[in-house]
Amino acid sequence: MPQAVRKAIFPVGGLGTRFLPATKAMPKEMLPIVDKPLIQYAVEEAQAAGIEDFIFVTGRGKHAIEDHFDVSFELDTMLRERGKNDMLSAIRSWMPSPGQISYTRQMEPLGLGHAVWCARHLIGDEPFAVLLADDLVLSQTACLKQMVDVHGEIGGSVVAVVDVPREHTDRYGILDVGNDNGRLASVTGLVEKPKPEDAPSTLSIIGRYILQPEVFDHLDKQEKGAGGEIQLTDAMAATLGTNPFHGLRFEGRRFDCGDKAGFLEATIAFALSREDLAMDVRKIIKSYTDT
Ligand code: UTP
């Protein structure tokens, strides 16, 4: 049986320039969808998948993330004194236990592959997950849980994938695939941001990965790829052939919250998925579309 996936890396070292000025003094990962920061959705998804160790790869100006995953004594005391137990639970119930979270610094934002490599000593020699908080998934079963279940059956590496329009392939990591049963596709190649005419398929990797520690052997070389960045996709491509590698078309809907339109769409979709907000939000949307 494949070794269980117990550890997850959350790369949060990016600069978030597409959201300036909001991200001038606040990490992009702390932007809220309705009332919860992006990074909390990602951590809760990992918890739902059975992850026990949460490794954040941070950079300068990311203190708000550490504070968010820490006890706030003043707020706790004030809410307890006022008998606001539901709010107390809203700020505490989802927090990993003491010692389950570690932080390491990327020091320089040299690319996603570099951010993942910075966590190599905390991962050691076991399979691990990577979650990018700016990719948000609304699903019945947590996206990473779906991937962990596939990994539990066939092992190796598993990436979550979606079909994208061909004209968008140059924004994403794209798969070359062999066997494809419509849900699971075996990966025969990976290429970062190919031009539409060069793309081997339109299956794009989203920010959810289960990887094997061999990926660090390639990342050790610090080779730069597309855009002059150290790309995770290139390191994953280098491990092809050593282990099974699959793309999973997961159940659920993905929102690219690193992009303004995607972020706004996620806000609407998550608000509509909430019982306390859906009716009001529907009315608001209708009032704009009726005019
Ligand atoms: P993006 O490509 O969205 O970059 O990174 P970014 O800097 O966050 O945002 P923009 O493009 O300037 O607006 C995708 C993910 O990889 C992480 C980011 O934090 C984000 O989760 N990342 C990227 C790092 O952790 N380090 C890097 O060097 C690059």
- Name the CATH topology of 7-258: Spore Coat Polysaccharide Biosynthesis Protein SpsA; Chain A (3.90.550)
Instruction: Judge if the beta carbon of residue 14 lies within 6 A of ligand 1.
Output: yes
CA dihedral 136→137→142→146, nearest 10 degrees, is -110
Q: Please state whether the predicted TM-score (pTM) of the whole model is above 0.85.
A: yes
Report which protein residue has its CA nearest ligand 1's atom 15. 132
Find all residues with CB under 8 Å of 118, minimum gap 6, and list them: 13, 57, 104, 105, 106, 107
Closest CA to 62 of 28, 101, 102: 28
Closest CA to 64 of 103, 100, 120: 103
Pairing of strands 184-192, 245-248: antiparallel
Classified as helix, coil or strand, 95 is coil
Which ligand 1 atom is the nearest neighbour of the CA of 12? 19
Q: What is the pLDDT of residue 160?
A: 98
Q: What is the pLDDT of residue 100?
A: 96
State yes or no: cis peptide before 196, omega within 30 of 0. Answer: no
Report which protein residue has its CA nearest ligand 1's atom 16. 112
Which ligand 1 atom is the nearest neighbour of the CA of 134? 21
Instruction: Judge if the beta carbon of residue 12 lies within 6 A of ligand 1.
Output: yes
**Per residue of the chain (291 residues), what is the pLDDT tens digit?**
889 999 999 999 888 899 999 999 999 999 999 999 999 999 999 999 999 999 999 988 889 999 999 998 899 899 999 999 888 888 888 899 999 999 999 999 899 999 999 999 999 999 999 999 999 999 999 999 999 999 999 999 999 999 999 999 998 899 999 999 989 999 999 988 999 999 999 999 999 999 999 999 999 998 888 889 999 999 999 999 889 999 999 999 999 999 999 999 999 999 999 999 999 999 999 999 876
Amino acid (one-letter) located at 73? F
Tokens of 172: 């994403």
What whole-number distance in Å separates Cα of residue 275 and Cα of residue 45?
Answer: 20
Q: What is the pLDDT of residue 291?
A: 64
Tokens of 151: 């990994």
Q: Strand ranges (DSSP E) for 67-123? A: 101-105
Q: Residue 60 C-alpha to ligand 1 middle, in angstroms?
A: 13
Q: What is the pLDDT of residue 89?
A: 86
